[in-house]
Amino acid sequence: MVGLSRLFEPLRLRDIEIRNRILPTGHQTFLARKGLPSDELVAYHEARARGGAGLIIVEATRFHTTALTDSPELVVVSDDCIAGYRRIADAVHRHGGRVFGQLSHSGRVSRRMRDGMRGVAFAPSPVPDNRFHTMPRELPTALVCELVAACGAAARRFAEAGLDGVELVSSHGLLFAQFLNPRTNRRTDAYGGSLENRMRFLADCLAEVRTAVGPGRVVGIRISAEEIEDDGLQAAEVTEICVELARRQVIDYVNATIGSMSGLGGSIHVVPPMEVAPGYVAPKAANLKAATGLPLFVAGRINQPQIAEQVLAAGQADMIGMTRAMISDPDMANKARSGRLDDIRACIGCNQACIGHFHAGYPVSCIQNPVSGRETTLGMLPPVTVRKRVLVAGGGPAGLKAAVTAAARGHDVIVCEAERQAGGQALLAQLLPERAEFGGLVTNLLREVHLTGVELRLGTRVDAALARSQAPDAIVVATGARPYRPEIEGADGAHLVDAWAVLRNAVNPGSRVLIADWRCDWIGMGLAEKLAREGRKVRLAVNGLHAGQNLQMYLRDHWAARLFDLGVEILPYARLYGIDGETVYLSHIVSGKPIVCEGIDTVVGAFGHAPEVQLEQELAPLGIPIHLAGDCLSPRSAEEAVYEGLLAGRAV
């Protein structure tokens, strides 16, 4: 805890004392079942309370039927939810934490999918959003009043369940923010026009919530300090709103973020990727703290306790949102408190399994910590009944995860890595511009290797002879993959290189480059940025709908903006089929019509990878149980590699 004294000071809000300043903010987990808290959701939040979080804010809950969709979201429109929320409250309180509920309505910012069709989205006024392309219907005044009453009823259910507070989501361009915003609220009744009228919906809801929860519980709002959209709330407007709410004494704190879900640019800031600087929201949010005098919560790429301490020391905030940090390592707070900073599995901001799972319609998890979101099935690591000698072939993410998992269970484990450095393809990913943080995946795994006593042998390739000499009881094969190259006319006489060679600076790409991007992921976009930054003219030919098709959307959109600024030419629906000198021949993947690119010095192939299966076949005659993990099974991503490594380590 040395140097983190502020982070572990308690904070008192009304009758509630929060033991420290660490907060997982409200975030969608998709762990609800039929709109109610599930065993999985209870276990998820209990893990973070056990890990030392001071306050947990349960994800945005739909408090009125006009907000319901078919997504597995929490719903508080009836008393059926109380028992489930009581289980969450009891689990968090049992470990000394505090827990708030969060009430939200998306308004126009929703496809509102029901039974495969779009439903009616309601908003203050019929102003379309620029992300889901929804044209909402104006809320009748009577329905606005109904929403106010429903908000109070939902808060009452939270109170009856034993939650310590209620937060209204007025951030990210959602319904409360839409009412506050003169560009999206064009009403002429009592809920539109002047600032006082535009604030009326939120103020009425806050009054209903206060009445419902009583004087001792905490009531606050989450709000974007600025929404960063053309029709979004601006910083000065947000400050004016928060100052007025503070003057009226209707809220106990402000939970500040930035961005908006109503457009692609503002959405990037909802869950900013690793290319965004750590702690970047705090200086903007500090203005709200200074202006209102209220306790301020803040989030935005604060993934390390040291960064959180700096924000507190600068007086920029009073509570620190560390949501992804505690998805990656639920025990982060306890580790920080006991001074074990090097043992923290730091979030790398990849967005793949947290918000990426949400956007794909799956429950939350983490590429580094597959147990997140799976606490009920993977939370307990079974100890060994018979101690075995385990040999792991391959020191990439899959092999390292298998090794530390098996060792944590009690096995004796040796990892042999053919290269002089462990890490596999993660070592290549970290070489891209502003992607060095991805290397934290390897750093964190190597720390676990040290803590669990795994023997790591570098520059050692596993073969049948080595396996026989080690006499293992089980072998985990995690040998990864190698670059794949399809048949391409003229390739033998052309300057065609693979992506790995470019990342390693092993080739000279020349001044005019075409990247043939079959994977539609980070490799093509990352290489395009790298080469464009080096001053080369770059064309990115994507064998898919668009660049970054297989990336989480906030990362993809952030990268797309950078490539546009760098002048990278993107050719979608394009497959490479031939090269002739400086001419590259592509075909449109739907129409089959040719796309010809002249003046190309080098073609960089990002054609995917082929699994390394030779060792598996060589070891089979030995009769030793073999477990496969990662790209040697099928080339995919680090998420699957780590997950399968975990499963292999549990299985040996």
Distance from C-alpha of 493 to C-alpha of 578, rounded to nearest angstrom: 11
3-state helix, strand, coil in the chain (%, to 5): 35, 20, 45
Looking at residue 516, its pLDDT comes to: 98
State mean pLDDT over 90-115.
96
Residue appearing with tokens 């009581």: 86
CB-based burial label for 537 (10 Å; 0-12, 13-18, 19+): middle
| CB distance 219 to 251 below 8 Å | yes
- Domains of the chain in start order, with CATH, are 11-377 (3.20.20.70), 381-483+611-651 (3.40.50.720), 491-607 (3.50.50.60)
**Amino acid symbol at 149:** A
* HEC profile of 191-247: CCCCHHHHCHHHHHHHHHHHHHHCCCCEEEEEEECCCCCCCCCCHHHHHHHHHHHHH
Q: Taking residues 360-387, what's their average pLDDT?
A: 97
Distance CA 152, CA 150 (A): 5
Helix H, strand E, coil C: the string for 377-421 is HHCCCCCCCCCCEEEEECCCHHHHHHHHHHHHHCCEEEEEECCCC
Instruction: List pLDDT tens digits, range 19-68.
Output: 999 999 999 999 999 999 999 999 999 999 999 999 999 999 999 999 99
* Residue range 60-71, pLDDT digits in tens: 999 999 999 999
Write the pLDDT tens digit of every residue in 388-439: 999 999 999 999 999 999 999 999 999 999 999 999 999 999 999 999 999 9
**Are the beta carbons of 190 and 139 closer than 8 angstroms?**
no
| Per-residue confidence (pLDDT) for residue 633, from 0 to 100 | 97
Confidence of residue 352 (pLDDT cuts 50, 70, 90): very high
**Using CA atoms, how far apart are residues 526 and 166, in angstroms rounded to an integer?**
42
Q: What is the pTM of this model?
A: 0.96
Other Cβ atoms less than 10 A from the Cβ of 586: the count is: 22
549: nearest Cα among 591, 518, 528, 592 = 518
DSSP-assigned beta bridge partners for residue 640? none
Q: Is there a contact between 157 and 82 (Cβ–Cβ < 8 Å)?
A: yes
Helix (H, G, I), strand (E, B) or coil at 285: helix
> What phi-psi label fits residue 565: left (phi over 0), alpha (psi between -120 and 50 degrees) or beta?
alpha
Q: Averaged over 203-228, what is the pLDDT?
A: 98
Q: Give the residues across from 117 on adjacent strands.
A: 114
* Own/partner pairs, 310-314, CB within 8 angstroms, 24+ separation: 310/279, 311/279, 311/282, 312/6, 312/7, 312/21, 313/6, 314/282, 314/286
> How much of the chain, in percent, has pLDDT values that exceed 90?
99
Q: How confident is the model at residue 450 (pLDDT cuts 50, 70, 90)?
A: very high
Question: What's the Cα-to-Cα distance from 20 to each of 53, 58, 81, 352, rounded to whole Å?
Answer: 7, 17, 28, 29
Give me the pLDDT at residue 276, please.
95
Question: Tell me, what's the pLDDT at 2?
Answer: 53
Residues 6 or more apart whose CB falls under 8 angstroms from that of 61 comprise 73, 74, 75, 76, 101, 102, 103, 104, 154
Q: How confident is the model at residue 556 (pLDDT cuts 50, 70, 90)?
A: very high
Is residue 241 scored above 90 in pLDDT?
Answer: yes
Query: Would you say residue 5 has pLDDT above 90?
Result: yes
Give the mean pLDDT of 491-520: 96
Please report the pLDDT score of residue 465 as a whole number: 98
**If pLDDT is split at 50, 70 and 90, which confidence band does 332 have?**
very high
Q: How far apart are the first and last CA of the chain?
A: 37
pLDDT for 1 beyond 70: no
| Three-class secondary structure of residue 476 per DSSP | strand
